[in-house]
């Protein structure tokens, strides 16, 4: 059997999306292997999960480093694993152009809002405060701007009148756990092109 495409996952914390990717791989919904999990924080719970699963782990701390220096260190850590794609899963640092350009169109992120609405931190609270009736999650290609690159897939969830940031976050997270593996599976295994900002999957065209 040919080797599945290799993914390196970058995390900073809990790692529930990392778990969702691992589960999707186990179930055959995502045809890939997790080559490594890299965290900027040694105490990230997701790192412990990866280690339990026998996935190679690395810590590349950002402390005391500029963004460019941290990205250079990350690049050095990621490259030996020769990933097809790099998946950001709750990774809380911005990547420098040196990194995003080295893996152009091969880095994905998941964000808990329907971008371009509510980029940045506390997206669920931003959505509640604004009063939107629908929110959701977005998988996008990563460029050097925050939560900005071309959109791969989005899933919507309702915002309910009695939602708190926590209840809305939980509803969105459930959508994230389905959407992220599905988006990565498509990127890896279906032909697609980038037309301006639009990610166009060939199989969805022209019916
Ligand atoms: C998720 O809500 C993700 O969309 C955002 O950060 C959170 C990470 O959660 N980028 P987890 O670490 O995957 O549980």
Q: Whose CA is nearest to atom 2 of ligand 1?
A: 112
Position 58 pLDDT exceeds 60: yes
Q: Which helix (H) or strand (E) holds 74?
A: helix 67-78
Separation of CA 36 from chain center: 14
Mean pLDDT, residues 159-171: 98
pLDDT one-digit tens code per residue, 61-119: 999 999 999 999 999 999 999 999 999 999 999 999 999 999 999 999 999 999 999 99
Using pLDDT thresholds of 50, 70 and 90, give the confidence band for residue 1.
Answer: low
Mean pLDDT, residues 167-185: 98
Using pLDDT thresholds of 50, 70 and 90, give the confidence band for residue 203.
Answer: confident
Q: Whose CA is nearest to atom 8 of ligand 1?
A: 90
Q: What percent of the chain has pLDDT over 90?
A: 96
What's the confidence (pLDDT) of residue 144?
87
Ligand 1 atom closest to the Cα of residue 14 is 12
Using pLDDT thresholds of 50, 70 and 90, give the confidence band for residue 207.
Answer: low
What's the confidence (pLDDT) of residue 5?
98
Mean pLDDT, residues 178-193: 98
Contact 41, 195 (CB under 8 A): no
Position 2 pLDDT exceeds 90: no
pLDDT one-digit tens code per residue, 19-57: 999 999 999 999 999 999 999 999 999 999 999 999 999
Q: Is 136 in the pocket of ligand 1 (CB under 6 A)?
A: no
C-alpha of residue 1 to centroid of ligand 1, in Å: 33
Q: For residue 70, indicate whether it is catalytic.
A: no
Q: Which of 164 and 207 is assigned the larger pLDDT?
A: 164
Strand, coil or helix: 9:
strand
Separation of CA 67 from chain center: 19
Query: Which of 10, 17, 174 to mutate to test ligand 1, by most ligand atoms within 8 A of the CB atom?
Result: 17
Mean pLDDT, residues 182-192: 98
What's the confidence (pLDDT) of residue 110?
98
pLDDT one-digit tens code per residue, 124-150: 999 999 999 999 999 999 998 999 999
C-alpha of residue 121 to centroid of ligand 1, in Å: 11
Q: Is 149 in the pocket of ligand 1 (CB under 6 A)?
A: no
Q: For residues 92, 75, 178 and 193, what is the CA-based torsion angle, rounded to 10 degrees? A: 120
Strand, coil or helix: 68:
helix
Supply 152's token pair: 């791969």
Contact 18, 49 (CB under 8 A): yes
pLDDT one-digit tens code per residue, 86-98: 999 999 999 999 9
């Amino acid at each position: 059997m040919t080797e599945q495409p290799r993914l390196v996952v970058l995390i900073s914390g809990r790692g529930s999306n990392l778990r969702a990717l691992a589960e999707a791989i186990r179930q055959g919904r995502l045809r890939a292997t997790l080559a490594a999990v890299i965290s900027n924080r040694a105490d990230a719970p997701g790192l412990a999960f990866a280690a339990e699963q026998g996935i190679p782990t690395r810590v590349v701390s950002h402390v005391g480093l500029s963004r460019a220096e941290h990205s250079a260190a990350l690049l050095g850590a990621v490259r030996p694993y020769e990933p097809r794609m790099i998946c950001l899963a709750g990774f809380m640092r911005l990547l420098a152009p040196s990194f995003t350009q080295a893996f152009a169109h091969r880095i994905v992120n998941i964000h808990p809002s329907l971008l371009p609405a509510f980029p940045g931190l506390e997206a669920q609270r931003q959505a509640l405060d604004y009063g939107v009736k629908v929110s959701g999650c977005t998988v996008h290609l990563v460029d050097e701007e925050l939560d900005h690159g071309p959109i791969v897939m989005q899933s919507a969830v309702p915002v309910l009148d009695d939602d708190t940031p926590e209840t809305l976050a939980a509803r969105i997270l459930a959508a994230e756990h389905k959407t992220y593996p599905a988006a990565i599976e498509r990127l890896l295994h279906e032909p697609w092109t980038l037309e301006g900002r639009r990610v166009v999957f060939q199989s969805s065209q022209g019916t």
